[in-house]
Amino acid sequence: MRKTLTLIVSTCVLLSCATVQSTGNKKDNTSRAQTQSTSPKKNNGKIKPYDKVITADAISDVGLFDVHLVDEKYYFEIPLEQLNTDMLLVSRFSKLPANLGGGYVNAGTKTNTRLINWERFKNKILIKEKSHSAVAADSLPIHVSVKANNYEPTLYAFDIVAFSKDSSAVVIDVTNFYGSDVKAISGLSSRLRSTYKVKNLDKSRSFINSIKSFPENIEVIQDFTYNASNPPVNTGDETISVQMNQSMILLPKTPMQPRYFDERVGWFTLSKYDYGSEELKSDKKTYLRRWKLIPKDIEAYNRGELVEPIEPIVYYLDPATPMKFRSYMKEGIELWQKAFEAAGFKNAIIAKDPPSKEEDPEFSPEDIRYSVVRYVASTTRNATGPSVADPRSGEIIESDIIWYHNHLRSYRNRYLLETGAANPSARTLNTPDEEIGEMMKMVIAHEVGHTLGLPHNMSASYAYDVEDYRDGEFTQKNGIAATIMDYARYNYIAQPGDENIRFVRQLGPYDEYAINYGYRYIDEAKSPDDEKEILNRWIMEKAGDPIYKFGKQSSRFDPTAQTEDIGNNSIKASTYGLKNLKIVAKNLPSWTSDKTDNYEDLEELYGELLSVWSRYIGHVVTHVGGVVEDTKNPSQEGVVYTPVDKDYQKSAIQWLHKNAFETPEWLINKDILQNINYAGYTDRMRSLQVRHLTNLLNFERLGRLIDHQALDNRNYSALEMLSDLRQGIWSEAKSGSNVSVFRRNLQRAYLDAMFDLMTKDLDPKRSRQYFNVNQSDIRALVRGELNVIKQLLISASKANVNTETKYHYKDGIERINLILDPK
């Protein structure tokens, strides 16, 4: 009798629970309430009494959702008040096999970030991925259309298996969601599955490791093993095992007030199309990605006092970080405190050692509550600074800086190669710990800058005059660029005998300027529009000063915004750089193999020395057909795009002939080459030179030169460039002298490049500057140049030259004939 009564009471409670919904949004729930009532017949017994599902044997964890483990099944107990609430679902690798995905996939790498809602539909709970790129206020009629035309996908559907005892929460079984191969949260993309020929998830070797619930987030660890016939580590078992961490974090009910992006100040951003805008279009609005910093004492802050933020940015070091590096990493993080002082904050960013087990037994680098500098055991030589942001507002909520173990090897090598001529302490394979630490500190500071929202600023080194890099007092004060965010790693300009030189980069005035722009708290602004005038004023105060100019990394045409260069004159800077590199090349064996009694380091450093040479050459190439980009608003004087001065471009071509296309004999060092390889000497030099020759002879560069002359015939023209290039490349034919094997290779490459210009076309998918090549001047100019060269070679082949040269000239004539008349 008691059992019967209990069943009746439970059924009544169950029926009442099914019809009482969350009161969050009355408009949304009204239409659903009629379809969501349940009865034992309708739910087919799937909805059970709470105690029948969450038994006395349950192991429970209280948090955002209460998590229960019962007989190897995991259940979420989701409060009704958390339905239709914005959350972020972040998937990342916790452990993975070596070489998975290439060099930039590691423990801590994010694979998916999704804005989600948990929603109820009848007797199911759905995970819906929420759209955030198209918006309109829900009070506007067009909101209906935005929702209809941006229908949100359902990532997973769960049966409601029970209601909580007080009817305030639903219980779902999440075992299958986290225990099976759900593509939405998988670490293996379709590309990786194809590459490694993944067949399927082996359920017998896959399981949920743990699920932990915290007040604002849930962390799930999955151990998954896949059957794959071409795994990244092939030991014959045709297996890929990964450990995934799934983080779900509750986002603020009220998103942070966003700040508008202005392209005159570099920033990582997110964009939305606002269909509720008064503009006569879908209005694209772009906001900064940034941390939320609010002063503890706003009145003191407004008086100009430095004030601590309510919640500072905190970075933890990875427990795997070697002890000898920890102080450098923490210093690199906290270097940004000074930049934040420019925005009115003190102690805005703090570095901490990883907590011990006693201090925080549940600390995990994958836990989305912690921002961590991850130390990765990998042969990759790099560091990266990704972050996770609220897609509604751009608020950064977590970031993981990735430091790859072998990265310091690259810095040691470049320190030796780029500064060794003028810097005695760099002339060793055992760079002093203090100097290695300084490099590491600045690399970490650079990556922290990314996680604060700052992209690379490639114009920052152009702010300083080349001669300033030889001034000890200047370099000690200003470093080698106006920001740590430039790819300006070392001072390669300073010459032997220059004193008190700083060779390593550091933070600069642009960093303080950018941080103030993104993080200064504007108390009076109640909307992004309220800030516009203030933000523009800050920019205009610095307009025209090259120290505060932002140069895009994506530019391939702007010589003032190049990677790895320093100084405001590439010809002069590269001349200094090559002068130093010649000293290094001469001494490389004595600094390496003579010390180690093997050639491993010599081979590695010689290969990198060639890359350094190529970079210096490339910095000059960019000026030919180059355009200086100076982003500005219409209210500012001047134009945005200005072609490089004609005389400078002509000087660049002559410099390239002397330093790149005339064979750099000093690079062909027998003491090095005959100890690191048995052959390949001529082709290695060919490939280096040809890279820059074909870079000059490309459609986009010629197209820009044609455009520039059309605007002003005083500009350097495509015809002039081709003529200047021809005269240098074929100088032996004009003088009647012998041609070396290196030059013969280069001249054949020139003809191959001209063949491409005559027969190929721009790829609209890959070219940023697309035009109709066939109907442009390019074919006519190339045809004309080839005819000139043909006549030159006919005459040169009759000169008193050696047999190789005669054959070469005759071969050149035949090649030109085939280009001009393929039949």
* Per-residue tokens: 814: 């035949």
422 pLDDT exceeds 60?
A: yes
d(CA 178, CA 223): 10
Q: Domains in the chain: how many in total?
A: 2
* Per-residue tokens: 689: 């030179």
13 pLDDT exceeds 60?
A: no
d(CA 216, CA 82): 11
Query: Any idea what DSSP says for residue 161?
Result: E
**In-domain check, residue 385:** no
Mean pLDDT computed over 542-548: 96
Residue 272 · residue 134 · CB < 8 Å: yes
Residue 245 · residue 253 · CB < 8 Å: no
pLDDT of 272: 84
**In-domain check, residue 784:** yes
Residue 275 · residue 305 · CB < 8 Å: no
pLDDT of 41: 40
**In-domain check, residue 114:** yes
pLDDT of 34: 34
Residue at which a domain ends, from 208, 231, 250: 250
Q: State the amino acid at position 451 in one-letter form.
A: T
Whose CA is closest to 371, among 363, 379, 360?
A: 363
* Per-residue tokens: 159: 């049966």
Q: Treating both helix axes as pointing N-terminal to C-terminal, what angle do 509-519 and 433-452 enclose, rounded to 10 degrees?
A: 30
**In-domain check, residue 511:** no
Residue 53 · residue 14 · CB < 8 Å: no
113 pairs with which residues across the strands? 90
**In-domain check, residue 437:** no
822 pLDDT exceeds 90?
A: no
Note down the domain range covering 216. Answer: 46-250
Residue at which a domain ends, from 250, 267, 297: 250
Distance of CA 610 to the CA centre of its chain: 26
378 pLDDT exceeds 90?
A: no
Helix%, strand%, coil% for the chain, nearest 5:
40, 20, 40
**In-domain check, residue 445:** no
pLDDT of 768: 80
150 pLDDT exceeds 80?
A: no
**In-domain check, residue 314:** no
d(CA 79, CA 48): 17
pLDDT of 17: 38
Whose CA is closest to 655, among 703, 716, 705, 725?
A: 725
> Could you tell me the pLDDT band of residue 38, with boundaries at 50, 70 and 90?
very low
At 54-107, the pLDDT tens digits run: 999 999 999 999 999 999 999 999 999 999 999 999 999 999 898 888 778 888
Model-level pTM? Answer: 0.89
d(CA 231, CA 690): 37
Q: What is the mean pLDDT of the chain?
A: 91
In sequence order, which residues have a C-beta less than 8 Å from that of residue 103 and are 6 or more positions away? 378, 379, 380, 382, 404
d(CA 643, CA 624): 9
pLDDT of 555: 76
At 496-536, the pLDDT tens digits run: 999 999 999 999 999 999 999 999 999 999 999 999 999 99
CA 297 vs CA 155, 345, 424, 521, 664: distances in Å: 43, 11, 50, 11, 63
pLDDT of 103: 73
Share of the chain above pLDDT 90, in %: 80
Residue 75 · residue 51 · CB < 8 Å: no
Q: State the amino acid at position 540 in one-letter form.
A: M
pLDDT of 44: 60
Q: How many CB atoms sit inside 10 A of residue 23's CB?
A: 9
| Higher-confidence position of 552 and 467 | 467
pLDDT of 146: 67
Provide the terminal-to-terminal Cα distance of the chain, rounded to the nearest Å. 102
> Could you tell me the pLDDT band of residue 2, with boundaries at 50, 70 and 90?
very low
At 167-198, the pLDDT tens digits run: 999 999 999 999 999 999 999 999 999 999 99
- Which ranges of 592-698 does DSSP label H, i.e. alpha helix? 593-596, 600-621, 646-656, 670-676, 681-696
3-state DSSP assignment of residue 736: coil
At 272-324, the pLDDT tens digits run: 887 766 665 667 899 999 999 999 999 999 999 999 999 999 999 999 999 99
> Could you tell me the pLDDT band of residue 347, with boundaries at 50, 70 and 90?
very high
Whose CA is closest to 112, among 513, 386, 494?
A: 386
**In-domain check, residue 696:** yes
Residue at which a domain ends, from 183, 218, 250: 250
Q: How many CB atoms sit inside 10 A of residue 700's CB?
A: 16
d(CA 697, CA 684): 20
366 pLDDT exceeds 90?
A: no
